[in-house]
Structure 1
Amino acid sequence: MALIVVISLMVVGGLNWLMNESWLIATQASGEDAFSYLIIEILQAVAIHSVAVAFIPLLLAFFRQTLASYVVLILMLSLYMLLITGLNAVGPAIAGLMIAAVAYAVFTKSVNLIRYFRAK
């Protein structure tokens, strides 16, 4: 469960940092107290958004649905990226998950086929 929280914090924090980087540079150059307030605002946004993103995956992990929790985490992070930056990462995330599912199915079927021929 801690890995879900760490992944969520890293992705949400990185996106918020990149979205506010120009504001950080401008307020740091001005030399006012606005820089510390902006850092606090970014940290608050990261905390709130990471809880919102990781809520359903953590709930699934609590009920011992680990694979489903990571799949939902990937989808939630791609939706968060779409809402925050406008970059559509939902389609590539779904395509990647589908490719991973097909690769897993092919791998397990090939292992079973190899075991079958070895037993003969």
Structure 2
Amino acid sequence: MKEEGKGLLAVGYARIGRSGDMRDLDRQAEQIYNFCQKHGIKLNLVLSEQGERGMSWKILEDILKESNRRLDMVVVAEMGNLSRDVGWLLLKQAEFESRYGVELISVRGSQLSVDKNGEMRMG
């Protein structure tokens, strides 16, 4: 993360499964808001959706394309909300950083990494 609190600008992304509890979207949005407030990050908006990544994810990527690198990060409640596929998450994280200049971060501090056995993992 850039120097904490120095004019950082973010968008949030919250998602639940098809049969998920709608209150969980509110909980995720609140976690994202609280994280940003705690770290002095200006949160522009939180996109929320239920089901598979779909319209909100497309809108998020459009926002990043149009931001002309004015956004610093995308904040999620936890990485698993984006995908359970760690390989996809690593690729998406690298794409966000290289293409849009945006960090993909989790309020829970979840990090994507490769363990000592060479396996990708979250946590």
TM-score (norm 1): 0.34
Bigger helix fraction? 1
Is the radius of gyration larger for structure 1 or structure 2? 1
Bigger strand fraction? 2
TM-score (norm 2): 0.33
